[in-house]
Structure formats: structure tokens, C-alpha cells
Structure 1
Amino acid sequence: MTRTALVVRGGWDGHHPVEATELFLPFLRSSGFDVTVEEDPQVYADADRMAGVDLVVQSVTMSEASQEAIRGLRDAVAAGTGLAGWHGGIADSFRASSDYLQLVGGQFATHPSKHPDEVHGDQSDNYLRYTVEISELGRSHDIMAGIDDFELTTEQYWVLHDDLNDVLATTTHPVQPYHPWHRPITSPAVWTRDWGQGRVFVSTPGHSLDVLQDDNVRTIIERGMLWAAR
């Protein structure tokens, strides 16, 4: 039986929404999905179309969406449509919508930078070596099966989040003398979320194409999409 996947992409070009989503289209098709791509989140407001979507893969950093679009997405997920994404394409979308934030369960707050003496004024200022630590729940979850703690050099997301998330992996921001916080801060790095009859999957690693092609990150995202789908 063929399922339907809707890929919605756009927003800030720095996350390469076209190239990033293109990495996963062959996997979706080989997994039995009929894939369509839209460049505008207003598609979420089309209730008839959304009723036939089994999985939404969203890569829209920042940007804006209408109240009708957000309501349509929330209604679709509550009715069983899966929602999946990575990094800013899902965890830093539609900042003005509290309804969207509640649906996804986590909002990017910052990505701490290197020592002031090491910054150059480009994206690499925020590329830190950090560990993605699999949680106790994650070790028993299909998405994380066989994956151990692993390291990345990329943006380390500090995420505002709530307790409805099932956290499969975390990352901890250390105390540094050049930052104003005074104890280590642990943020979710991979989480799932049940919403009505639907499922939400988020991976915060995924800033750039090379990170998305990391074996661990790619495997987690591929499995996360399948897990979220109706």
C-alpha cells in the first residue's frame, strides 16, 4: 500500500532547505511513499489535501505561516498525519505562532559559540564539538536501535521544551567562563511527541548537508520519518 509524504520546505536559505530535503526523497520513495513537494506552508490550510497525507516532512526555518495553515497542520497531526523534521526546519519555524510551538514541543533558543578569541563572524563561530547522548528511553526505542553516544562538530542547539516530549537523546552545554550561565544545561537532541492520533519526530542535529549525511544522524532521521508516518 502506497502512503503519501508531503515535503514542505523554504524559509532561511542558510539551512539549504532544497538540498537538505532532496537528500531524503529517494529514501522516502524507496520506502513506499508517493512524495510531493511544496514551497509554501499555506498548503497546510487545505483540509481535504491534508486528510490524505500520511507524513509531513518540514524544512522551513523561521519564516511565517498563517493561522489557517497552523490550524490545518495541528488538525492533520491530531487526526493521524505524522510530522517530522530536523534542526531549524522544524524546531525554529514560525516563531510568532505559540500554537505551532505547542505542537512541536521544542523551540530553538540559541547555539552557544566558541571562545570570543576564536570567532570570525561566520556560521563556524557556532560549530562546537559535542556529544549526542542516547537516553535510557532512547536505548529501547526503534529509532535509536544500535546507536550509541556519538560526537558531532556543528551547532549545538539549546532548546526550550516541555514534558510531553519523549526524549530519545540529549546534549549538554558546559559551563564556560565567557558565557553567562552557571551550571551545565541539558537540552533534548532527539525527541518524539504524541499528538492526538498523530506522531511528531524532531532531530536537532541537521544544520548542514555534511551533518545530515553523518551515518548516525541520517539513520535517526530516516527511522524518525518512518516512525512518525501514519
Structure 2
Amino acid sequence: MNGAVRNLILTGGIGHPFAEAAPALERILAEAGAGIVSTVTDDIEAGLEALERGGFDLLTVYALRWRMLGSEKYAPHRERWAFSLSPDGRQRLSRFVAGGGGLLGLHTALICFDDWPEWKDLLGGAWVWGRSAHPPRGPVTLIPTDMPHPLTAGLPPFTVTDETYGDFDLAADVQPLAMVAPEGGSAWPALWARDFGRGRVVADTLGHDRASLEHPVHRQVLTRAALWACRRPL
């Protein structure tokens, strides 16, 4: 494949500094050797309509968009951010990846689209309300497993201030490429890569904010993930 990678970043939501973190992610990927050019939007349905019209190689979900049921602490945010992905949106997303596109699910992607069970099957993991959790943001160490893969080849463990997601659902075929644990806590898969139809999927559960994304080793992981998902040289 030749030319720049075209990437669509879907973002937005509560409790995370997406307004500065998503542009930081755009810059990190743009500095990759292959030249990844990103379009950033918080209008998920319109973004997926654009995805279906063609021209994109990669879809990055870096958003916190779900129905916001239950706790009234979400009440002030529901009008702006509560979200249920439409049947058309679901089909557009699935067709893109199954047809050969790349998908990068970053951090809160696991929590998105909570009324779409197939999202777990596509991404490889999903948050389970009432069970999944993370401790307060703090130092966490990502440790590559012994599973050989281009995403983690030669990468050292690294420590970053972030959120450690745990007790979420994993698809049966997920083989973790790295684990992450808070200080004194249990380890959970934090990075995996898999095929979906003719496409490729990478999930990275780190990335709460710009500082996490810009950690030198995490930058490598993100760049490799984007390029691998698009079948480009790393």
C-alpha cells in the first residue's frame, strides 16, 4: 500500500480531557513514519456516514459514549453525551472492519455502545456495568507478555499515570499482548490485537489523557497499533 493512512477518530464524552487528548493523539500518529492523517469528530453517527463513503483506512474509537443509565450523577451530562449507536451506525462500523479496514479502540472504547452486544465481539472486550471497575488514576505499569507480536517486539515495560480497567469481558479468542496493574492491584489485559473478517483490530486500555498518550513507549505502541491495523510496515 502506498500513500498516507487516512484515520477517522471518534471522540468525546465525560470525565476525560478528550478536547486536548484527541488532538494529541492526532499529532502522535501524524508523526509516524507512514504519515497518518486523521479527521477528528465527536459526531459519531456523521463520522460513520463519512466512513462508509470511503477514503479511510483506519477507524479510531477514543470516546466515552454510552446510554448513561442508572446513577443520577450522569443526569447533567445525558442531554449532551448519552448515546446509543443506531442500527445503521452499527452496520457501517462492522462492515468497515469486516471488509478490511483497521480499528483501534483506545481506553474508554471498552465502555462505548453498551446496548450493542456485538461491540465486544468486534473489539475483543467490553465494560460490564455493575462489575467492571478501575481504581483511582495513579501509577500503572504495562508489561508485555511472552506472546510474540510486532506490536510489542522489543518494547520494555513502562510506567505511566493512568486508569487500570479490570473485570471486563474478553472475547474467547483474545490473547493479551500486554498486562497492566495498579500498584498493589491485580493485573488485567491492556493490549491485544486480532482479526475481524478481513480487517484488523487493536485494543489499548490505557490513554486517559494527553500525558499518557505522549509517554515515549506508549507513543510507540499507538503508532505500531495504527500501522499494524492498516497492514502498513511498522
- TM class by shorter chain equals 0.7 to 0.9
Q: Quote the offset at 1:203 in angstroms.
A: 0.9
Which of 133, 151, 155 is 1:111 aligned to? 133
8 Å Cα contact 1:83/1:201 also seen in 2: yes
1:136 to 116, 126, 146: 146
CA distance in 2, matches of 1:11, 1:78: 26
Alignment of 1:77-226 (within 5 A): 77-88=97-108, 90-109=109-128, 110-113=132-135, 126-137=136-147, 140-158=148-166, 159-172=168-181, 184=186, 186-226=187-227
C-alpha separation in 2, matches of 1:9 and 1:96? 18
Paired residues of 1:192 and 1:199 also in contact (CA < 8 A): yes
Aligned in 2, Cα 1:46/1:26: closer, same or farther, shift over 3 Å? closer
Question: Unaligned stretches of 5+ in structure 2?
Answer: 67-82
In structure 2, C-alpha distance between the alignment counterparts of 1:5 and 1:130, rounded to whole Å:
28
Q: Does the 8 Å contact 1:111/1:155 carry over to 2?
A: no
Is the 1:45–1:71 contact (alpha carbons within 8 Å) kept by the matching residues of 2?
no
Q: Distance in 2 between matches of 1:143 and 1:191?
A: 9
Change (3 A) 1:83 1:40: same
Q: Distance in 2 between matches of 1:47 and 1:151?
A: 35
* Deviation (angstroms), 1:77: 0.1
**Which residue identity does 2:190 align to in structure 1?**
A
CA distance in 1, matches of 2:145, 2:176: 7
SS in 1 for 2:127: strand
Q: Distance in 2 between matches of 1:196 and 1:211?
A: 31
Aligned to 2:38: 35
Give the corresponding residue for 2:77. Answer: none
- In the TM superposition, what is the alpha-carbon distance from 1:148 to its structure 2 partner? 2.0
Instruction: Give the C-alpha shift of residue 157 in structure 1.
Output: 0.8
Q: Would you say how many aligned residue pairs link Structure 1 and Structure 2?
A: 205
Q: Kindly, what percent of the aligned residue pairs are identical? A: 28
Question: Is residue 2:14 matched to residue 1:5?
Answer: no
Whether 1:52 and 2:62 are equivalent positions in the alignment is no
TM-score normalised per structure 1:
0.79
1:211 and 1:187, CA in 2 relative to 1: closer, same or farther beyond 3 A?
Answer: same
From the two aligned structures, give the one with the greater strand fraction.
Answer: 1
Q: Is the 8 A contact 1:86 1:221 kept in 2?
A: no
**Deviation readout 1:171-216 (Å, 9 max, x if unpaired):** 357988xxxxxxx5x4211111210110111111111221112122
What is the Cα deviation at residue 129 of structure 1?
3.4
Q: Distance in 1 between matches of 2:27 and 2:183?
A: 38
Q: 1:130 to 1:26 in 2, by over 3 A?
A: closer
Contact 2:124/2:203 (<8 A) preserved: no
